[in-house]
Structure 1
Amino acid sequence: MSLYQQLLQRAAEQKPIRIGLIGAGKFGSMYLAQIPRTPGVQLVAVADLMPALAKQNLCNVGWDATQLEASSIDSALRERTCYVTDDWQAIVQHPAVDVVVECTGNPIAAVEHCLRAFSEGKHVVNVTVEADAFCGPLLAKKARDANVIYSLAFGDQPALICDLVDWARTCGFPVVAAGRGHQWLPHYADSTPETVWNYYGLTTEQAKRGGLNPKMFNSFLDGSKPAIESTAVANATGLAVPSNGLLYPPASVEDIPVVTRPISEGGHLERKGMVEVISSLEKDGRKIPYDIRMGVWVTVEAETDYIKNCFEEYKAHTDPSGRYFTLYKRWHLIGLEVGLSVASVALRKEATGVPYCWNADVIATAKRDLNPGDQLDGEGGYTVWGKLLPAKKSHSMGGLPLGLAHQIKVIRPVKKGQSLCWDDVLIDKTTDAYKIRMEMEQSFKGAILS
């Protein structure tokens, strides 16, 4: 049966997939808007640091306030309502919860939530890809050891890219490159939460109306999020990454199969089998018509003349050689699509993207000269942006993962544009996030892609 048919069957049998959500911000709210419209699932609890705001967000997306009055998960189950709390542990500990959807956007907290959920026998759909970027391979291993599923979130670009890569390989195509789009110019790396809305073409008032977080959106603009998501894709697919950061070649959808070829064949790739991000802006800032800014893509190669001829016969748009073809989705719908991950994890026991190797890393890089005593503020902030590097390179330099560059003190001068190392900062070594990162480095260092 299809996933939807299985959901209908669950609904008919009154055995819904029971969901616990941690973090009811923008992404979480988008998923909350879809749950009442999806058969066979039941939201039993939402945990958020600000329960009152979480309830307001639920009401904003269509929930009735009377559905949010449960005093516990048990009462929510009896009354078919939802329990809203600030106690995330109540969700991961409750035996009725099948799937935990981690939506906090806080990588340090997300690691703790995932680990505890695994220990309680819960599947996890992890929206907080920032956590996956610095320790995802080990999170996935710990989930397997606990006999549960750990998954990237469909709707977010990494899972959609993984889906395209899986399509290509399952059909017998070698993957030349895969990635997402982005609006990019090099000086965006210097952007801060104070400058972000001008680049997006929004006023501060419009951003406030939409409940948009300037730091979060700046993490997209300054290149941190593309690096984070490319890291997740590389570690979930085995694809390699550029040796010194993303190149952001500008291209229309039509030109993607041209620019995502190896340099030796007129493209931009160091070699075949890599992740990359396509810019929707020319280098002089001009907008490219029919861009892939909000989408994802995969470029494959026809290895024989027969396959090349099939591309031609079925009018597939290729590069001039006829050998490279790009399949793409021009849009992604963020949290509105997470239900596919929840259904896949709970019903098929299949992740929608899961890391299995350590090929890539994203390292905190100074936005300005940093001095001893300065406090790092993580992705999208005022102090650092994330640079994509091969894991072998980041490990050999002792690079500081961007996901751990939150509220830690600089203890050595760092020049603008320089990537930070562990020795540049004073870090709390007692957190689960730090410990699991160290454990991952030890566990995977022998298998890093060279």
Structure 2
Amino acid sequence: MNLARLAAERAEAGRPVRAGLIGAGKFGSMFLSQVPTITGLEVAAIADLDPDRARTACRTVGWDESRIAATAFTEDGAALAERDDVDVVIEATGNPRAGIAHAQAAIAAGKHVVMVNVEADVLAGPALARRARAEGVVYSMAYGDQPALVAEMVDWARAAGFKVAAAGKGTKYLPAYHKVTPDDVWTHYGLTPEAAAQAGMNPQMFNSFLDGTKSAIEMAAIANATGLNVPRGGLGFPPCGVDDLAHVLRPRDLGGQLEGKGMVEVVSSIERDGRPVFRDLRWGVYVVLEAPNDYAAACFRQYGLPTDATGRFASMYKPFHLIGLELSISVLSAALRGEATGCSREFRGNVAAVSKRGLKAGEVLDGEGGYTVYGRLMPAAVSAEADVLPIGLAHRVKLVRDVADGQAVTFADVEIEEDSAVALYREAMAGRAE
């Protein structure tokens, strides 16, 4: 990719790439840990609701006091986005409304945006990307996170002339997980609440990974960036190991488990009875290729790719992802090459807020990973027809009527302010893929 060389040249010229980080949580801290060893990359400013916590994070990841003293710390993400000494804004708050506001401020200020905040991206990514293109700046997914890695694999496959039958990631999943709340999340991770609290682990955030919400959000982001299709009934989470990807992730009419070709899907690392899947892909990503001709299919076999019984479908996978440790790839790509490491292009997938139990009028929804709703993936066109409430807007909104257990919440079910986040969501939805 030559990014290291290009960054080193910028350092030699006295013009290092200057990043501004909004949100010094786990993802942001992982990025900060790498910065001192990357020639040509600096962090000029860090915004966090608690600047002292951000300073502590810098010390925890190994920054020396001189580097901390040379960095500006603030509570105001929008103000960071407007700083003259920032070239690339990294939005890593995890709050969709805040992420949208910060991205808008950065784009208006002529800064590139790396959107770690996948929640914000699936809510308004296509609209934000259009704004960025109009201003001549880059709006990018975050490399190291699974959506960007999958988008890269899909792009590689297409550039090499393959058809993409399926793409996605692995996770730990059972159907019962959709009902899990923060009160009982730690039992599924093999932790006690006390141990989790001591480690600073947020139960609602970790519950989002378990109850299927985060998987739905990430697959929506991949669909919106790559043009792959979304299952009409939501993610199936078929149990599948790496040796069987090409067999399981092909259309049903060919013996697989997908409703068609060109789909996003998540595979489970455990069987439905709780047994571990052999050679699972819990931490990784994959793409299933379809050979465009007999010659390519023969090459699959000759070069050892795992294929289905026909030999026409083969899989490639990456068993791990390093999350924030790889984030600099996006920052440098945006600043030095003017390229995104994945970018929302069209609204193909949406994530509906679905009730975890019967909900009553007057109750307040608590959003992603909480007690009231989880996120279910659905085609954007289907969600528009039903006017479902996306999971990114389902935080601190009051129900005005009852919602049955397992039912998608709609805008008509809630009392919600028509603010800029809602407006941008509707703008993005207006350009959806039918």
SS of equivalent residue, structure 1 residue 290:
coil
After superposition, residues 229-378 of structure 1 pair within 5 angstroms as 229-378=218-367
Question: Deviation string for 1:106-125 (max 9, x for gaps)?
Answer: 00100000001000000000
Deviates more, 1:116-125 or 1:192-201: 192-201
**Whole-Å Cα distance in 1 between the matches of residues 177 and 119 of structure 2?**
19
**Whole-Å Cα distance in 1 between the matches of residues 201 and 20 of structure 2?**
23
Counterpart position of 1:77: none
**Whole-Å Cα distance in 2 between the matches of residues 171 and 409 of structure 1?**
49
Counterpart position of 1:167: 156
**Whole-Å Cα distance in 2 between the matches of residues 330 and 207 of structure 1?**
26
Deviates more, 1:313-322 or 1:412-421: 313-322
Could you list the runs of 5+ residues in structure 1 that have no partner in the other structure?
A: 70-80
Deviates more, 1:81-90 or 1:319-328: 81-90
**Whole-Å Cα distance in 1 between the matches of residues 33 and 197 of structure 2?**
20
Question: Deviation string for 1:386-437 (max 9, x for gaps)?
Answer: 00000110000001011011111011100110001000000011x2211111
Counterpart position of 2:52: 52
Counterpart position of 1:61: 61
Contact kept in structure 2, 1:55 and 1:65, CA below 8 Å:
no
Contact kept in structure 1, 2:161 and 2:292, CA below 8 Å:
no
Deviation, 1:198, is 1.1
Question: Deviation string for 1:321-348 (max 9, x for gaps)?
Answer: 1111110001001111100000111111
**Whole-Å Cα distance in 2 between the matches of residues 223 and 315 of structure 1?**
33
Contact kept in structure 2, 1:26 and 1:211, CA below 8 Å:
no
Could you list the runs of 5+ residues in structure 2 that have no partner in the other structure?
A: none
Counterpart position of 1:15: 15
After superposition, residues 86-235 of structure 1 pair within 5 angstroms as 86-235=75-224
Deviation, 1:90, is 2.5
**Whole-Å Cα distance in 1 between the matches of residues 134 and 56 of structure 2?**
38
Counterpart position of 2:37: 37
Q: Which amino acid aligns with 1:48?
A: D
SS of equivalent residue, structure 1 residue 414:
coil
SS of equivalent residue, structure 2 residue 315:
strand
SS of equivalent residue, structure 2 residue 327:
helix
Deviation, 1:66, is 4.3
Deviation, 1:153, is 0.2
Contact kept in structure 2, 1:68 and 1:84, CA below 8 Å:
no
Deviation, 1:207, is 2.2
For normalisation by structure 2, the TM-score amounts to 0.98
Deviates more, 1:111-120 or 1:298-307: 298-307
Deviation, 1:65, is 3.5
Which segments of structure 1 move beyond 6 Å, counting only runs of 4 or more? Answer: none
Q: What do you get for the CA RMSD once the two structures are aligned?
A: 1.1
**Whole-Å Cα distance in 2 between the matches of residues 152 and 413 of structure 1?**
37
Question: Deviation string for 1:195-249 (max 9, x for gaps)?
Answer: 1111112222332343222111111100000000000000000000100100001
SS of equivalent residue, structure 2 residue 359:
coil
**Whole-Å Cα distance in 2 between the matches of residues 206 and 149 of structure 1?**
41
Deviation, 1:314, is 1.2
Counterpart position of 1:436: 424
Q: Which amino acid aligns with 2:360?
A: N
Question: Deviation string for 1:279-313 (max 9, x for gaps)?
Answer: 00101111112100110000001121111111111
**Whole-Å Cα distance in 1 between the matches of residues 408 and 68 of structure 2?**
46
**Whole-Å Cα distance in 2 between the matches of residues 441 and 221 of structure 1?**
27
Q: Percent identity?
A: 50
**Whole-Å Cα distance in 1 between the matches of residues 400 and 189 of structure 2?**
34
SS of equivalent residue, structure 2 residue 368:
coil
Q: Which amino acid aligns with 1:311?
A: F
SS of equivalent residue, structure 1 residue 30:
helix
Q: Which amino acid aligns with 2:220?
A: T
Deviation, 1:22, is 0.3
